[in-house]
Structure 1
Amino acid sequence: MSQLSDHARQTYNALQTSVARTYGVTSASEEFNVEPTHAQTLNDRITLSSAFLQRINVIGVSEIKGEKVMMGVNGTVTGRTNTDNKDREPRNVLGLDGKGYELFDTHSDVTLRFATIDAWAKFKDFAKRYSAAVQRQIGLDRIMIGWHGLEAKPDTDRDAHPLLQDVNKGWLQIVREQAPQQILAQGQTPGKIRIGQLGDYPNLDALVFDVSLMIDEEFRDGDDLIAIIGRDLLAHDKGKLYAKQGHTPTEKEKVELSQVIDTYGGLPSYTCPHFPSKGVTVTSFNNLSIYFQDSSWRRYLLANPKRSRTEDYNSRNEGYVVEQLGKFAAIEATNVELLADAPEEVKA
């Protein structure tokens, strides 16, 4: 099919009109800058597509490079001074570590075959469905880069880096570079973190507790620390409970209803899309940020009959930030090795 059918073209034109109206421009068929207020609205819609993104900070900033914008407090602020002897001296405890942030040009470009638009043209809410699908995928991509991003290459390669490792530096990579002491890379066996009775940690609970002790002391007793845990580790832990309790129907039901347990290492546990399957990260949700330059968002929609498709180009400057490095601790997921428990007779 080399061109849109009349019905599909009407549907596509309606999409262009809807986009132009949303962003307050004359036409979406020419590249246009998204005004900061509209960029914030678009960003909010992307954020709302993911429960995880709603928990962290997704913030519009004005500069490509600069100081972190979230204010965390390091240490205590309460005390007393005998002003007969000296002046009161306020403490500078804002968590500005001088590391700053840097944003990189980021593209989220989407194409639709003419045949696909023809198939979708029967839906009156085509524009809404399409926008929601694209926004959700941009949100999922943001999360994937946050956990797997290693560098920001000028020319990315999706085939070589299917987890978008070359799009931007994510949270784990930022901490690897700026605070490597906050990343646990091995236990007693070089290059390995072994979980099991004969390993470095007898169970997941012990591992999470040990990682939590890597958090700087002034943050440990806060009420906002959480443990983000990979699905393979949770499944392994649940599997051990099944092996032990699964033969008893009442106990099996408890395992299923409780989703293993609610806490590990004394911390509330969560998982999220694209988190490393054997990973553990201890931090707070508000310590993780994505910054985007609110004046940088550009968009352009066109029909390309030479390729029998439509093309939707989105670009903006974007980057990742760990607001307080000492409030973040994690393990190298690729080094984790899960050990089988010894049989009962060996345990004895």
Structure 2
Amino acid sequence: MGHPLSNYGTKMFAELQMAIAETYGVETASRMFNVEPSVAQELNDAITHQADFLERINIVMVTEIKGQKVFLGTNGPVTGRTNVKTTDREAVDVSSLDDDTYELSPTESDVSLSYAKIDAWAKFPEFHAKYSAAVQRQIALDRIMVGFHGTHAAQQTDRIQYPMLQDVNKGWLQQLREKAPAQVMSSGKVAGKVTMGAGGDYANLDALVHDAKQLVDERLRDAGDLIAIIGSDLLAADKAKLYAKQGSTPTEKERIESAQVIATYGGLPSFSVPYFPANAVKVTSFDNLSIYVQDSSWRKQTVDNPKRSRVEDYNSRNEGYVIEQLEKAGLIENVEVLEDAA
């Protein structure tokens, strides 16, 4: 027998249902309804605010399920001079015409909250905000997970077989592997892995990040906005090495934490991002990564399910992952830290 929803919890959930219906301009939230595009934009903004990483990249509302990329950047210089006495001035097309389209996939984010949790939250005046934030935060984290781990969009997804949501959509890393394999390094001296440490492919993380930057098209390499996203295992190995060398006093440790570990590697500002593969480094710019959402596709329903002693929040929309300029990304993956690296 599950935890029954208390009378007060029932009352608060009923008020929540009415508030949701009012927010979205529908009669009841317990039946599936279409979210108006303007409100879908607000909902996407709320989800984006749940994760710092999502606030740094592009979350784009588009009208069509297939179409042209929104932020096609330039792939080279446009400045020069023409002798107009003999030659017409010619405008240069510098967009990346080889890969300028996107396609979205149906995506479901269905979140359940137990009666026990609803009862615990019902005591707080900000119950509605707590509930909404819990749903939005999970969708935000899932979006990041799919972006870094998604390899394909299955007709029927399987979270048991693919716990990192690999089958929900093709994420940024998979698109780079498929569309620009020359910009992905996954093997070094030893097939199937890249080694870091004494005697390895790279002596340290600085050298590895430097080479990841070299995978970016040279015309875009020094634009000034490139960053490195570094996996947690590689950061941990570098931190351990720094502690071993310098970490004898609390002040030294503090300096290592704040200045050297997540600051700059290979000359690039470096970041640790949730769910990024622990043994990889990706170099790109934040504004080169996008998630596209069809503005008219969001559907929502919030229901009480006493059979499972829980409340269920159903959300579906068409969305997809986009690298705006493939040439502006480099990836080194399958990195193995050698024992003596630390």
Task: Report the TM-score range of the alignment, normalised by the length of the smaller protein.
Answer: over 0.9
1:325 counterpart residue number: 326
1:77 counterpart residue number: 78
Are 1:2 and 1:307, in contact at CA under 8 Å, matched by a contact in 2?
no
CA deviation after TM superposition for structure 1 residue 279, in Å:
1.1
Instruction: Provide the C-alpha distance between the structure 2 equivalents of 1:342 and 1:325, rounded to a whole number of angstroms.
Output: 32
- State whether structure 2 residue 248 is matched by structure 1 residue 242: no
- State whether structure 2 residue 103 is matched by structure 1 residue 107: no
Q: Which runs of 5+ in 2 are unaligned?
A: none
**Partner SS state of residue 316, structure 1:** strand
Report matched runs for 1:1-348 at 5 Å.
1=2, 4-247=5-248, 251-260=252-261, 262-332=263-333, 335-341=334-340
Are 1:74 and 1:93, in contact at CA under 8 Å, matched by a contact in 2?
yes
Are 2:204 and 2:341, in contact at CA under 8 Å, matched by a contact in 1?
no
**Partner SS state of residue 164, structure 2:** coil
| Cα-Cα RMSD | 1.7
Q: Tell me the alpha carbon deviations over residues 112-170 of structure 1, each in whole angstroms, 9 at most, x when there is no partner.
A: 23333223221222111010111111111100110001111111111111111111110
Q: Tell me the alpha carbon deviations over residues 200-245 of structure 1, each in whole angstroms, 9 at most, x when there is no partner.
A: 1111100110111110011011010011101111111111111112
Instruction: Provide the C-alpha distance between the structure 1 equivalents of 2:284 and 2:88, rounded to a whole number of angstroms.
Output: 37
CA separation of 1:180 and 1:26: change in aligned 2, threshold 3 A: same
Are 1:68 and 1:96, in contact at CA under 8 Å, matched by a contact in 2?
no
Are 2:262 and 2:271, in contact at CA under 8 Å, matched by a contact in 1?
no
Count of matched residue pairs: 341
CA deviation after TM superposition for structure 1 residue 319, in Å:
0.5
Instruction: Provide the C-alpha distance between the structure 1 equivalents of 2:294 and 2:124, rounded to a whole number of angstroms.
Output: 34
TM-score of the superposed pair, with normalisation by structure 1: 0.94
Are 2:3 and 2:116, in contact at CA under 8 Å, matched by a contact in 1?
no
Aligned partner of 2:336: which letter?
E
Give the share of equivalent positions with the same residue, in percent.
61
Instruction: Provide the C-alpha distance between the structure 1 equivalents of 2:49 and 2:124, rounded to a whole number of angstroms.
Output: 23
Aligned partner of 2:329: which letter?
F
CA deviation after TM superposition for structure 1 residue 317, in Å:
0.4
Q: Which runs of 5+ in 1 are unaligned?
A: 344-348
Instruction: Provide the C-alpha distance between the structure 1 equivalents of 2:51 and 2:97, rounded to a whole number of angstroms.
Output: 28
Instruction: Provide the C-alpha distance between the structure 1 equivalents of 2:45 and 2:249, rounded to a whole number of angstroms.
Output: 47
Aligned partner of 2:340: which letter?
D
CA deviation after TM superposition for structure 1 residue 6, in Å:
2.5
Instruction: Provide the C-alpha distance between the structure 2 equivalents of 1:131 and 1:173, rounded to a whole number of angstroms.
Output: 31
Instruction: Provide the C-alpha distance between the structure 2 equivalents of 1:228 and 1:62, rounded to a whole number of angstroms.
Output: 31
CA separation of 1:307 and 1:216: change in aligned 2, threshold 3 A: same
Instruction: Provide the C-alpha distance between the structure 1 equivalents of 2:324 and 2:254, rounded to a whole number of angstroms.
Output: 41
Q: Tell me the alpha carbon deviations over residues 257-304 of structure 1, each in whole angstroms, 9 at most, x when there is no partner.
A: 424262111111111111111110000000000001010000011222
